[in-house]
Structure 1
Amino acid sequence: MTVQHQILVSKPVQSTMANRRCIQTLTQQLYKSKLRPNPPSSLQHLRTLVLIPNLPPKPLNPKSHHMFSTPNFNASLTNFTTYRHFSSDRRDDSDGSEEDDSEYDDDDEMEQNPESSVVKKEYSQEERESEAAAIGYKVIGQLQRSDRVFKLYEPVFAVIQIGAHQFKVSNGDCIYTEKLKFCEVNAKLILNKVLMLGSKTQTMIGRPVLPGAAVHAVVEEHALDAKVIIFKKKRRKNYRRTKGHRQELTKLRITDIQGIEKPEMPTPVKKVEKAAVAA
């Protein structure tokens, strides 16, 4: 950098410092003239700076986000205060950011109220059976008081598929799946997607499903899983959204496994206590 460039760069800095010194000296002299009852003639002309005319206040723009209080010119300079109230951190000239935020808000409203935008579809009996078969179950009716579906434990297990999840179950087990449509509490189901059956003596593996196998179950309740917090953020966009989600679940109780020979359980033999013979 040459000497001329250095001089050109330093000139605005020097002029700024000189203006700052002049303003500082002027305010000091003005303050001294206010404190002295009879100031000298050199400070007499500074009293005219204190007499500020009462101008009518300018009307504020209602669209502006900044609100200013009217200053009190009659008070001393040391007690001069100004208050500002900010209603938002957005700028007036940032039209693009406001449009982007409005788009995000619309998306969030759609996510928060999915039921308002989605109309419930009415299914026919054939459509219900086809959709249930695609998931992997079939509704055969409601559980009655006279039904004896709950049996004793049998040493047989099965691997079943419900939707996209697989479960290893035995007679009397309880499993939680995603909420199953078209079935209410105490409904009897047949889980027909059986991938594997096994016992102590044999094992049967499907390719991919065993044709003659079935697992019977009963719907005990429809419940909600623990809450999961979903937090979204976009850097430098003032965009943060927090939302919770609870997955709907269905509780199933396995009642019977069919399609494999079940070994008989040995019946426990009760020991007969010998009566003590009195001598």
Structure 2
Amino acid sequence: MRKYAIIDIGGTQLRVEQGRFYDARHLVSIRNTLKPNEKISINRVLLICHGSRINFGYPWLTDAAVKGRILQGCFDKKLVIQRIQPKGKTRKVFGYRENMTRFVIDSIQFGSKNLNKD
């Protein structure tokens, strides 16, 4: 019986569990302000599954929070974009790497209970 939560972070929905690390996009603003090992709290929790109980939010659960720590800023794989002009032998190849923030989940809380202590 796994305990997990589904959170909304960086425009995507992630299924998170305690002790695992995840990469999230669109956190450039906190990537520059938060240092490694700083604590974060994510309140946009969509669903919490604890044993056989499932709690849904509409759109988010009001008393739920996922707490974690920033590990480091990192980059995603490089996206390569090629533009080829038809009938004219010209090509342009360029790309970019997206900024990511790696964080680890310390605890999942619902109401006043920490669900990972069981």
TM-score when scaled to structure 1?
A: 0.37
Aligned residue number for residue 184 of structure 1: 35
RMSD over aligned Cα, in angstroms? 2.1
Mark the CA change 1:247 to 1:263 in structure 2 (over 3 Å): closer, same or farther. closer
**CA–CA separation in structure 2 for the residues paired with 1:187 and 1:232:** 42
Structure 1 residue ranges without an equivalent (≥5)? 1-154, 266-279
Q: How does 1:113-124 map to 2 (within 5 A)?
A: none
Q: How does 1:184-203 map to 2 (within 5 A)?
A: 184-203=35-54
Aligned residue number for residue 57 of structure 2: 206
Q: How many pairs were matched up? A: 112
Amino acid corresponding to residue 174 of structure 1 in structure 2? F
Deviating more after overlay: 206-215 vs 254-263 = 254-263
Q: Does 1:171 align with 2:18?
A: yes
Mark the CA change 1:161 to 1:263 in structure 2 (over 3 Å): closer, same or farther. closer
Q: How does 1:86-125 map to 2 (within 5 A)?
A: none
CA offset digits 1:127-171 (Å, max 9, x no partner): xxxxxxxxxxxxxxxxxxxxxxxxxxxx52100011221111111
Higher relative contact order (CA 8 A, sep 6+): 2
Aligned residue number for residue 106 of structure 2: 255
Aligned residue number for residue 239 of structure 1: 90
Mark the CA change 1:215 to 1:179 in structure 2 (over 3 Å): closer, same or farther. same
Q: Does 1:230 align with 2:81?
A: yes
**Structure with bigger gyration radius:** 1
**CA–CA separation in structure 2 for the residues paired with 1:238 and 1:263:** 60
Q: Indicate which of 160, 165, 178 corresponds to 2:7.
A: 160
More strand by share: 2
Structure 2 residue ranges without an equivalent (≥5)? none
Aligned residue number for residue 53 of structure 1: none
TM-score when scaled to structure 2?
A: 0.83
More helix by share: 1
CA offset digits 1:163-203 (Å, max 9, x no partner): 22111111111111115113332221111110001111411
